[in-house]
Amino acid sequence: MDIMGLMKKAGAMQAKMAEMQAELDNITVEGLAGGGLVKVTLTAKGALQALAIDPSLLKEDEKEILEDLIVAAHADARRKAEGLLEEKMKGMTAGLGLPPGMKLPF
């Protein structure tokens, strides 16, 4: 591939990255824990949007369980957001001919 062609693709990818960054603020993912008793909603960038807790967990003696479920639900949502971002990046870098395993520093 010639250098001009590569620079043209890099410029196009940069524009797509800016568009994708804006889009990620509007995409949400949900993480669940405790069979759905705790639900966390994040943006694809990882910003916490909502937390829903089933009233049955709001007992003083179950405080530690509730805390663990919140952390687990957040981790579940975060994994989903990271997977979504990875899929979007694969589509964006497909035309660059990068070797397998090579990632761009975005």
**Does residue 72 belong to any structural domain of this protein?**
yes
Q: Residue 86 belongs to what domain range? A: 26-92
pLDDT, the chain, mean: 84
**Does position 106 have pLDDT exceeding 50, yes or no?**
no
H helices present in 25-105, as ranges: 63-93
**Does residue 8 belong to any structural domain of this protein?**
no
**Domains in the chain, number:** 1
Strand, helix or coil for residue 53: strand
Structure-token pair, residue 106: 């975005």
**In sequence order, which residues have a C-beta less than 8 Å from that of residue 53 and are 6 or more positions away?**
37, 38, 66, 70
**Does position 21 have pLDDT exceeding 90, yes or no?**
no
**Does residue 73 belong to any structural domain of this protein?**
yes
Looking at the whole model, is its pTM more than 0.75?
A: no
Domain containing residue 60: CATH number: 3.30.1310.10
Please indicate whether residue 88 or residue 39 has the higher confidence score (pLDDT): 39
Structure-token pair, residue 60: 């003083």
**One-letter amino acid identity for 16?**
K
35 to each of 5, 38, 54, 73, 74, how far by Cα in Å? 51, 8, 11, 10, 14
**Does residue 104 belong to any structural domain of this protein?**
no
**Does position 41 have pLDDT exceeding 90, yes or no?**
yes
- Poorest-pLDDT segment among 25-34, 65-74, 91-100: 91-100
End-to-end CA distance of the chain: 22
Say if CB 96 and CB 12 are below 8 A apart.
no
